[in-house]
DNA sequence: ATCTTATTGTAGCGACTGCTACAAGGTGAA
DNA sequence: TTCACCTTGTAGCAGTCGCTACAATAAGAT
């Protein structure tokens, strides 16, 4: 006896649609596939969200929220001893296989933000801000400039991740060897 | 008397379509608007390129080529005196207003590469490779490790550009102050 | 019981998607 | 000329797009 009385609302629909978008992307996300993934009809999506633009905006906000809580839970107890270790840990986390669907989605969000699509920039901003918080709390204890260091590592991290997704992971790695992160 | 005998071919169509894509994006690029921008019909685009996938692939290759030659022409005579100056110059160039439409397109290419769309990764790879060459020839003369330094600067550059497009330009700037690029 | 309101299904609209069938013109070779 | 081939226009197909009109049901308030 599946889903007796769905009682659908924005809150129950968003996670299901987020899962679909995480797998199939934002660009090609149209109402009918989204509705099918959420167990409804396009008719009801419009009913609940008004129009597609608002739906996407809400969905991006929801995904940003999920990402934020996910980052907080990934925060362990042990502090890295150096900036290099800190960077390596965060980079390794971003490259985990479970993170890959999200990374693919992430670049779509960046592209949407660059093009000015509604909701994209706000979501990207929040996710970057949360990632900065994550990095700041993970900076080594005796770091002379934890705030600046976290921003530096974040910049380097994003560049490294981008080069990785376009097939230049080796280039990013070689670049790190020429940075001040090589001598720990 | 406009366009007497167009003699259309792949070579004459690609620059016109590239201009259209530079302005309106790759994601929403459909055959009929592309054809209109190129002064033809969708019918002829299919005739010349076979199908849309091949058209996009060829178009991305063409854009990558244009970008490469543009980089080569942007290469001046004077060498920067330090890595910091080198970085600042390349960053300033990437932020020129004329480069902005291309930057918007660039993130779409990255997103497409991340999703595995045909042609995207190849184009992104070539453009990154060309940018590396550009950076390598622009490294200061007495640099102890020009190859590694160029890769390092490229990684930092891409991260900086990305943070800028999602509204965190200040964060990237603050991060650079905490890097080894701050003391020139 | 009646009235109101919230939720949902069915059917469809007009616009757009990539692509194709068919025919017509243009050009050059024989 | 005749033939072949390259190029192009017209018309349209089946499918998808976001969205809506209309009606039916359900539930709660009075």
pLDDT in tens, A58-101: 999 999 999 999 999 988 888 899 999 999 999 999 999 999 99
Query: Given B110, B151, B177, which is nearest A174 (Cβ)?
Result: B151
Q: Does A184 touch chain B (CB under 8 A)?
A: no
Nearest CA in chain A to B23: A115
Taking the C-alpha atoms of residue A64 and residue A49, their distance in angstroms, rounded to an integer, is 18
Taking CB atoms and an 8 Å limit, are A158 and B156 in contact across chains? no
Instruction: Quote the pLDDT of residue B6.
Output: 52
Q: What local confidence, expressed as pLDDT, does residue B1 receive?
A: 42
Q: How far is Cα A117 from Cα A78, in angstroms, rounded to an integer?
A: 39
Note the pLDDT of residue A6.
52
Give me the tens of pLDDT residue by residue for chain A, a chain 184 residues long: 444 445 678 899 999 999 999 999 999 899 999 999 999 999 999 999 999 999 999 999 999 999 999 999 988 888 899 999 999 999 999 999 999 999 999 999 999 999 999 999 999 999 999 999 999 999 999 999 999 999 999 999 999 999 999 999 999 999 998 888 875 4
Per-residue model confidence (pLDDT) at position B2: 45
- Contact call for residues A155 and B172 (beta carbons, < 8 A): yes
Structure tokens given for B9: 């071919």
- Segment A139-145 long-range contacts (CB within 8 Å, at least 24 positions apart): A139/A79, A139/A80, A139/A83, A139/A86, A140/A79, A140/A80, A140/A81, A140/A82, A140/A83, A140/A85, A140/A86, A141/A79, A143/A83, A145/B178
What mean pLDDT, rounded, does chain A reach?
93
Below-50 pLDDT ranges, chain B: 1-5, 184
Question: Which residues, 6 or more positions from A176, have their beta carbon under 8 angstroms from its beta carbon?
Answer: A87, A156, A160, A182, B152, B155
- Closest nucleotide to A54: CA versus each C1': D18
Total-model pTM: 0.94
Alpha helix (H) ranges present in A27-137?
31-38, 42-49, 52-73, 83-94, 100-115, 120-137
Nucleotide whose C1' lies closest to the alpha carbon of residue B52: C18
Check residue B183 and give its pLDDT: 58
């Amino acid at each position: 006896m599946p889903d007796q009385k769905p009682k659908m609302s924005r809150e129950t629909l968003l996670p299901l649609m987020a899962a679909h978008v995480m797998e199939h992307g934002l660009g090609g996300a149209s109402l009918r596939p989204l509705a099918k993934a959420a167990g409804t009809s396009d008719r009801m999506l419009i009913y609940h969200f008004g129009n597609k633009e608002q739906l996407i905006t809400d969905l991006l906000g929801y995904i940003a929220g999920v990402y934020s809580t996910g980052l907080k839970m990934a925060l362990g107890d042990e502090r890295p001893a150096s900036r290099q270790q800190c960077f390596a840990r965060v980079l390794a986390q971003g490259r985990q296989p479970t993170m890959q669907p999200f990374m693919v989605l992430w670049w779509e969000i960046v592209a949407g933000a660059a093009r000015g699509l509604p909701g994209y920039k706000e979501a990207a901003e929040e996710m970057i801000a949360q990632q900065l918080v994550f990095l700041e709390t993970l900076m080594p204890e005796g770091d002379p400039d934890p705030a600046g260091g976290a921003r530096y590592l974040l910049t380097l991290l994003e560049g490294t991740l981008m080069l990785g997704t376009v097939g230049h992971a080796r280039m990013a790695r070689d670049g790190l060897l020429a940075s001040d992160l090589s001598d720990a």
